[in-house]
Structure 1
Amino acid sequence: MTGTTVLLLDAAGPESAALARAAAARGHQVHAATAAERPAPAPNLAGRVVTDFARPDRAVEDITAYARRRGVEAVLTANEYLTETAALVCAELGLPGNDPHLAHAARDKAAMASVLTAAGVHVPCTRLVHDDAELHDALTDPVVGSPCVIKPIGGAGSAGVTVVTSPAQAAAAADTAREARSRYDRGATGVLVQAYAAGAEYSVESVTQEGVTTHLAVTRKAVTGGVRRVETGHSLPARVPPATETALHRQVGAAIRAVGIRHGASHTEVVIAPDGRCTVLEIAARLGAGHIGILLQHALGIDIFAALVDVALGRPAALAPTAHGHATVRFVTAPCAGRLTSVAGFPKPGPGVPFVRWRAAIGSPVKAAGVNADRLGAFVVTGPDAAEVEQRAELLARQIHVRVDAATPELCEPDQLNSASRPDIAP
């Protein structure tokens, strides 16, 4: 295969690094567009352009000029905040990409709710509010009901999302949503009030090429309870009844088309009610984070990162499973805010545990789990049998002890177990 030039928008983070490695392994030159304030990008880049992603017009201009000089033949990103920019750059360069006129709807969740509803996708009732009066109106709307969810228009990773069970919580929740607004979403104003969808949480991992979508797997999520919901685990492939899976794929396929995903990955978050009804919460024009790419590789034998490089180049991608196993990831979180003093029992890589990652240094400040970014570490367990994999992951999680010198001691037991020891994932 003749090597080509591939450009990543943002080359920091585990998914971006995996894309860079996959492209390099296939003989491609890897370049990156980065922001000056972002962490160090993936190693062994052939070149990079520094731009201000918070100024989209300028970023598109900088990136397309660089891409033309370097003869770039593929542009892709794993960063949710940059999926619209990627679509605009691909359109300017005439490369495979998503519809630039619809790509904003995979980022602006008010627009997302609107286009999904228009496409016949079942979504929660969503109200955009800008002030206290509109907030009050939304809370008293019987279609929204109680509990409800208040969240930012353009957030990610559960940042700024609050489950509100009484009107007294709403003002603080709206402030939390406003504070979580990304610097990439300068034009977005207001917050969203959304009806609460009760049921089991899943995501659907899909890849679309030339407008044809392949659903790779359904992923079951474990999520904390309470007002702030943080994902503590993912497992795939999740088994759902055939009729439910058919309905799920129908809803997700319609959502993918509605937000203009034509070339690339999508990660669609859904809730399945006890009666089997599927509700689409959100859709992102990117691969699912939280090591879902690793789960796909070890459970189904799909090299999703190599496949996404091929999709971006307009080449046939290998998306068919070559294995039929099971994989789960568990995330470790701190029991409370404070200073991390010790960690015991964290797994080591070995047979059936192909991946472990610890992020927090001893002595560093940590937070109680409020957003996905508060995770301290993760480990993956794989095997041929779903029940055995889940049982082993549960056993390993229970052996982990995270000790924190608490900022508020009464909120933290000295040897409280982390959130990964309380999963709610069914095979």
Structure 2
Amino acid sequence: MSEDGPALLMVDDRASTFTRYAARALAGRLVLLRFAELRRDLSDDHLRHTAHLPAFWVREGVPLEEEARRYTAWAEAALPVPPSRFCNPSEPRQAVAQRFAALAGLPHLTEQQVTWARDKAAMKDLFRELGLRTASYARVGAAADVERFAAVHGWPLVLKPVDSFACVDTFRLTGPSSLSGIDFGSRDWMVEEHLGGTEWEVCGLVHDGEVLDAWPSAMPCRPLDIVDGAMNANISVGTDEAPPVDLRALLQTVATGMRLDHGYLHMEFFLVDGRLHAGEIGVRLAGCEITANHGHAYGFDVFGATLDVYRGRRPSLRYGERRCAGDLLLPLPGSGTVRRITPREELLRIPGVVDAVLKVAVGDAVAARRASHNASGYVHVTGTSIGEVEQCMRSVLDAFTIDVVPAAAQRTGAATNGEPTQ
């Protein structure tokens, strides 16, 4: 991936490995698009590390048409090379970001494509039109709707907002009592049958309508178990342990059905008694550090290849050593102030760990939430098999300690007996 060529306008609503990579690789060819109402999500540290890049702030409460016109005038007057390409790595910003790109005359997802990518019921409608098997599902607006669905499909069920991500406000329902406290008036909801079998993920790059390759990931624990405390990890499988499915053909079916020209795809699917059930798909980079896992597992510059497709170029996927590589998200057990955390240097000494990043430090105020990306940091682990990587991850969890003093305990001076919260 070279530094010349078209400039890229990229949505920046949170610090990420991809953003940091792009900031280094595309200096002079990268412009950041930020939304003023999300300023609180951008740390001062992130703003310092991207201060060398031009950034356009979309003002809060101003019509998007006006902001797009202001952006176009600004880009033509202030930038040596105005962006001609667009990238949105943010799932929750899809609708507003793609509409802004359209108003600014940049490549973008259409309103229909955004609906397929964000509305999970419409997404599954499309999957079925394309001949893919899915879990049974229905839109619901009240507890009675869920109970009627359960009368046909049984319990347990999965309830989620149609536009949720990272398992936010997603619940496993074991019976009518699980519906207590759900505010059906706050969101558009859907319910679906709970599938057994094995849950997998797959990512791929699309250029000129063609899926160039597909990279599977194993999931030691399911996302719904993760938000309830299970190990939070993904393992890219560059070995022959990959699932017995033509994953490139699967992604091509969806990309063609969604009429996608280019981009990064991240899809979840289930194998139940050897039969594939399509789960959900995102038309953006995968969450957590899944994308980086693929670079470690296949020995290539995955972020550079991703930038290439968003800049309209066909990347050269030249792989090196094949192995398994995963990201393990380190626990963030509660909200309060960090009193103690295992140093990065200790984590790097654990066999199999190739990188470690701590997002919090002693003295930091932290806020945990029920989401699959809730974490105090992460490590990257490599190995010759899924099992070897998972074993190393469990060794990391055994060695890792974080002690968070709850705000209530701080106010009252309550003792914690020196026990870490893990």
Is TM-score (shorter-chain normalized) higher than 0.5? yes
Q: Give unpaired runs (5+ residues) of structure 1.
A: 180-188, 419-427
> For 1:63-121, what per-residue CA distance to the aligned partner results, in whole angstroms no more than 9, with x for missing partners?
56655665212110211123344544555566555455322210111221222222222
Name the aligned partner's letter for residue 266 of structure 1. L
Kindly state the Cα deviation for residue 178 of structure 1 after the two structures are TM-superposed. 6.8
Tell me which of 164, 177, 183 is aligned to 1:168.
177
**Percentage identity across paired residues of the two chains:** 21
> For 1:35-54, what per-residue CA distance to the aligned partner results, in whole angstroms no more than 9, with x for missing partners?
11331546144322211589
Q: Is the 8 A contact 1:52 1:58 kept in 2?
A: no
Supply the distance in 2 between the matched residues of 1:125 and 1:220 (Cα, whole angstroms). 24
Alignment of 1:96-245 (within 5 A): 96-140=107-151, 142-143=152-153, 145-172=154-181, 174-175=182-183, 189-223=187-221, 228=227, 232-237=232-237, 244-245=244-245
Supply the distance in 2 between the matched residues of 1:215 and 1:166 (Cα, whole angstroms). 41
Distance 1:281 1:156, change over 3 A: same
Tell me which of 17, 20, 28 is aligned to 1:18.
20
TM score, norm. by length of structure 2: 0.81
2:33 alignment partner in structure 1? 33
Quick check: 1:398 aligned with 2:409?
Answer: no
1:5 alignment partner in structure 2? 7
2:413 alignment partner in structure 1? none
Q: Is the 8 A contact 1:163 1:227 kept in 2?
A: no
1:343 alignment partner in structure 2? 341
Q: Is the 8 A contact 1:299 1:323 kept in 2?
A: yes
Kindly state the Cα deviation for residue 382 of structure 1 after the two structures are TM-superposed. 2.1
- SS for the counterpart of 2:92 is helix
Answer with 128-137 or 29-38: which moved more: 128-137
Answer with 288-297 or 32-41: which moved more: 32-41
Name the aligned partner's letter for residue 376 of structure 1. S
Name the aligned partner's letter for residue 149 of structure 1. V
Supply the distance in 1 between the matched residues of 2:185 and 2:116 (Cα, whole angstroms). 19
Kindly state the Cα deviation for residue 139 of structure 1 after the two structures are TM-superposed. 3.4
1:183 alignment partner in structure 2? none
- SS for the counterpart of 1:223 is coil
Name the aligned partner's letter for residue 287 of structure 1. L
Answer with 385-394 or 275-284: which moved more: 385-394
Name the aligned partner's letter for residue 6 of structure 1. L
Answer with 214-223 or 64-73: which moved more: 64-73
1:289 alignment partner in structure 2? 287
Distance 1:390 1:137, change over 3 A: closer
Supply the distance in 2 between the matched residues of 1:9 and 1:338 (Cα, whole angstroms). 30
TM score, norm. by length of structure 1: 0.80
1:254 alignment partner in structure 2? 253
Distance 1:84 1:16, change over 3 A: farther
Q: Is the 8 A contact 2:216 2:242 kept in 1?
A: no
Name the aligned partner's letter for residue 303 of structure 2. F
Answer with 209-218 or 392-401: which moved more: 392-401
Kindly state the Cα deviation for residue 237 of structure 1 after the two structures are TM-superposed. 1.1
Q: Is the 8 A contact 1:251 1:278 kept in 2?
A: no
Distance 1:399 1:198, change over 3 A: same
Kindly state the Cα deviation for residue 260 of structure 1 after the two structures are TM-superposed. 3.6
Distance 1:235 1:43, change over 3 A: same
Supply the distance in 1 between the matched residues of 2:378 and 2:190 (Cα, whole angstroms). 31
Name the aligned partner's letter for residue 80 of structure 1. E
Supply the distance in 2 between the matched residues of 1:331 and 1:239 (Cα, whole angstroms). 23
2:94 alignment partner in structure 1? 83
**Matched residues, number:** 399
Supply the distance in 2 between the matched residues of 1:329 and 1:308 (Cα, whole angstroms). 19
> For 1:188-231, what per-residue CA distance to the aligned partner results, in whole angstroms no more than 9, with x for missing partners?
x4211111111222110111111101333100113366594577
Supply the distance in 2 between the matched residues of 1:80 and 1:146 (Cα, whole angstroms). 30
Supply the distance in 2 between the matched residues of 1:414 and 1:199 (Cα, whole angstroms). 41
Report the aligned-residue RMSD: 3.4
Supply the distance in 2 between the matched residues of 1:368 and 1:387 (Cα, whole angstroms). 29
Name the aligned partner's letter for residue 139 of structure 2. L
2:412 alignment partner in structure 1? none
